Structure formats: C-alpha cells, structure tokens
Amino acid sequence: MLEKLDLSKKVSKEEYNRQMEVLGERLGKAQRMARDAKRPIIIVFEGWRGARRSALINEMMQQMDARGFNVYSSVRLRGVMQEQPFFGAFWKRLPALGHIAVYHRSWYYLKNANELADKEDNTKYPAVSFEHINNFEKMLTDDNYLVLKFFLHLSPEQQKKNIAKNAKTLGKAWRDLNPAIDESEDYDKFLPHYEKMLEATDTVNAPWHLIADDDPRSARLEVFTKIADAIEKAVQMSAEPAADKRTAATYDVLSKIDANKELTKEEYKEKLDKYQKKLTQLQIEMFKAQIPVVIGFEGWDAAGKGGAIRRLTAALDPLGFHVHPIAAPNVVEKQFHYQWRFWTKLPQPGNIAIFDRTWYGRVMVERIEGFAKPQEWQRAYDEIKDMEAQWSEHGIAIAKFWLQIDKEEQLRRFNDRQNDPNKQWKITDEDWRNRDKWDAYEAAVNEMLVRTDTSYAPWTVVEGNNKYYARLKVLKTVIDLFERKLAEKQQ
C-alpha cells in the first residue's frame, strides 16, 4: 500500500498559509458540529519515527477548542499497560459524547513495539491480536464513534534527515524521553511489517488514511481536510443502520431448572463456617499470586443476590474486594459506550471485583425496556464475549451467577418485604412492574445463558428457592474457581 504514495508532493509556505486560513475555520467548525451532534471522535496518528506527529497535532490544537479535546500518547502509556487487559488503558481514555481523543501513537504502536523492539525491551510492551483491535474499533464505530486512523509515511532519506534534525535542535535529552523504536537503521525490515498491519486493520468502518509526510505542509493540509470531511459527513449521515433481520430463536434453560433444593439450617451453618474459613485463606493466596477476580451476580428481583454477596464478602478482607452495585447508567456513564463503566471498574492484580448486576443488563433490561435498540442488544452477545475473552486472556478469573427462583417464590418474598417496615425500602414499584414482564425476561435470560456461556467465563445457574442452598453453592463455586486458578498458576 505504502509504495503507491506520492512522496514528492510539495506545498509552499504561502500556499499553506492561504489554505490554512480556510481550513482552520473549517476544523473549528467541524469540532463544534460534532459536539452539537454528540459524536465522539478518536483520531489515531501512527507512522515512522521522525514523522512530524507532534507539530501536526499542535497545529490542529491551535485551530480547535481545548474543551473536550484530549491528546494521549501510547509511548507514555507503556508503564500502565501491564496492570490491566490491553484495551483497559484505552477504555479509560475513551472520549465522551461530542469529545475528541487524539492518539500520538496508539494501540498499533504498542503491538509493533511488542513484536519489533529489541529483545530486552519488548517485554515492556503488551501483545494484542489484530482481531481484538478490529473488534475494539468495530464496537466503537457501531456505537456512533468516529475512528480516524492516519499513517504518516516517510521515505528512508527523509526519515534520516528528520531524525538528525530533531537530534540537533532538541538534543540528546529528547531522545532519552522518547523511547519509540528507531526504524531508520533498518527501514526495509520494518516496511513489510507496517504493510501487514495496515492491511490487517484496514476496515470499512475504520479505514487507514495513508499520508505522504516527506513534505509536512502537504501532509497537514491533507490530514486536516480529511478530518473536516469525515466529521462533516458523519454528522450529516447520522442515520442509524437498520437492525439485522433476525429469526427469533427459542432457547430453553430455566424451565429445566428445579429451583427447589433442600438444605437444613444446621447443615448450612456448619458448611458456611467451613467455606468461609477456606475463602479467607484462598483470598490471601490469590492476592499473593496477584490474580485479579471478577464475580458477576444476576438474577430475578428478590432472588437473594444481596444475601449471597454478603455471605461471600463476610469471609473476605475488606481491603481486597469491592462491591459494585450496578443500576441504570448515570449522567456521566451515559456519555460513553455501555462497556465503559465495566472496563473502568476492573480489579487491581490480586483484588476481587464483585458486580451486583452486570454488563448483562444490555441484553436483559435494556433489551426488554427498549433502552437499547434491537441491533444494539443483538450485537452485544459477541461484544460481551470478546470483552470477557480479553479479561480472561489477561489472567482475570471470572465467575457469573444467575440466581434462579420461581415465580411463586418471588411473590412470597415481595409480600414479605412489603409487610416488614424494616424491609419496605427494599421493594419498589419497579420491582412489581418487572414482575409483570416475567415471560419477556425469561426469554432474554434463556438466550443470554446459552449465547454467553464460555469456557473462560461460564455461567453458574444457582437454584435459589432455598437461600441456604443458594449461598453455599455460590461460595463453593468461588472456592473451586480460586483453587483451579491457583493450580493453573503453579504449573
């Protein structure tokens, strides 16, 4: 792809200034249009060392409003990459609705460095597959993000010149502070690698723009024009893609579950004590092994999620776990992709994140209540599986519980709450409204349990009519997970 670029284009200073007078206004206006249309934008600058990324970005900043405009560099992110799944750092820096995030080197740079840096250096860079990259970008563009990717191309001669000039004007200090790979010693080795990357990630939804950067003025005019064009077009074309045609599949999991399991209070007390002591020990070992844990709880209203979570956390040191109650997204969370609030709550190494309701709200309440459009919740199954796969590949242990009670048991518990003054705050009109939609929820739960049950993030359906039984099953499942992960780590 790169050899087709005409690197000989040149623009005079006068011509550049003349064009920038118009283009600068257009850029500022495009930013305001995107803000009004609430379109978030990610602009990625990759390319050779010596390409004039910083000067280009700075010129763009001169034309644009600093509000909602952020510049990041993957060179600076290197230190925080290892403590989270690859895209965690980028989720945390996701632009909000109407905002712009500019990457001076991005996920592509980190992948390249992992594959191309010197042996002693490349372990500092995390690995990532083209598939995860394409999925990440697709998920964003599907959600109305605009993803613009530029590769600044240099001839080997120009690259040598630029690097020499930087060394002269900025001094050795700059070189020390900017540890990016220097390809100029062996240009031809790197070229096919970059070509392959461009090919593998040149997608319909997030295509690459190849820019001849031997003449930086011509490069800037081209980049700014493409940015203004893309934003103007995106804002005008904000029409929604149609939902896929879909044959309603019928899944049947819950009806085969008998939610009644027997357990006496005495058996419960004895085993609870035993399991909790075991968990206290295992938490310490998991911390020592630095294995992060994600435990998600879903289930019918009044199925006993809160009680099960309390029996679990009672055994844990409060410094090593955090319970995240998940309700409808708040005003900030609504500014982002639905996965954002979960990526930003991932546990530190050795810590446990417990979610009281989870990302599966996308395919349950958001589906049923129409908060997500059909095409949105339909693609969410794959999106969620990819998210959990990334977490798992990073070493996060994942457990997901569905607490199952039958409809009569729910009614009994609702009435109990209603009649006990100390528990009335626990039950709301919404609970009763949800109950009226039992059948719709049941269909959604069935589909979720079938389509998102994976080896790396399996569902555990917990028979919940007997609370004692349910709590012990949760504890035992977590114990088994911890023991399995510790054994894997020791191998």
Binds a copy of itself (CB under 8 A): choice among 332, 345, 415, 480: 332
Task: Give residues 245-284 in contact with a copy of itself (rule: CB under 8 A).
Answer: 280-281, 284
Whole-angstrom distance, CA of residue 84 vs CA of residue 292:
9
Toward a copy of itself, which CB reaches closer, 169 or 250? Answer: 169
From the CB of 174, what's the least distance to a copy of itself, in Å? 6
SS3 357: coil
Partners of 295 in beta bridges: 354, 399
Sign, CA torsion 347/350/353/359: positive
Whole-angstrom distance, CA of residue 48 vs CA of residue 60:
20
Q: Is 458 in the site for a copy of itself (CB under 8 A)?
A: no
Burial category of 442 from C-beta neighbours within 10 Å (exposed 0-12, middle 13-18, buried 19 and up): middle
Task: Give residues 95-124 in contact with a copy of itself (rule: CB under 8 A).
Answer: 102, 104
Binds a copy of itself (CB under 8 A): choice among 1, 12, 18, 25: 25
Toward a copy of itself, which CB reaches closer, 26 or 379? Answer: 26
Q: Is 285 in the site for a copy of itself (CB under 8 A)?
A: yes
Q: Is 428 in the site for a copy of itself (CB under 8 A)?
A: no
User: Is the separation of the CB atoms in 393 and 407 below 8 Å?
Assistant: no
Q: Is 78 in the site for a copy of itself (CB under 8 A)?
A: no
Q: Is 62 in the site for a copy of itself (CB under 8 A)?
A: yes
Toward a copy of itself, which CB reaches closer, 162 or 390? Answer: 162
165: Cβ contacts below 8 Å, ≥ 6 apart = none
Q: Is 36 in the site for a copy of itself (CB under 8 A)?
A: no
Whole-angstrom distance, CA of residue 457 vs CA of residue 77:
28
Task: Give residues 351-410 in contact with a copy of itself (rule: CB under 8 A).
Answer: 356
Query: What is the DSSP secondary-structure string of 457-469?
Result: S-EEEEE-SSHHH
From the CB of 151, what's the least distance to a copy of itself, in Å? 19
User: Of the candidates 364, 356, 334, which has an alpha carbon nearest to the alpha carbon of residue 345?
Assistant: 356
Q: Is 288 in the site for a copy of itself (CB under 8 A)?
A: yes
Toward a copy of itself, which CB reaches closer, 309 or 363? Answer: 309
Contact positions vs a copy of itself (CB under 8 A): 25, 32, 54, 57-58, 61-62, 65-67, 70-71, 73, 75-76, 102, 104, 170-171, 173-174, 176-177, 280-281, 284-285, 287-288, 309-310, 313-314, 316-319, 322-325, 327, 331-332, 356, 422, 425
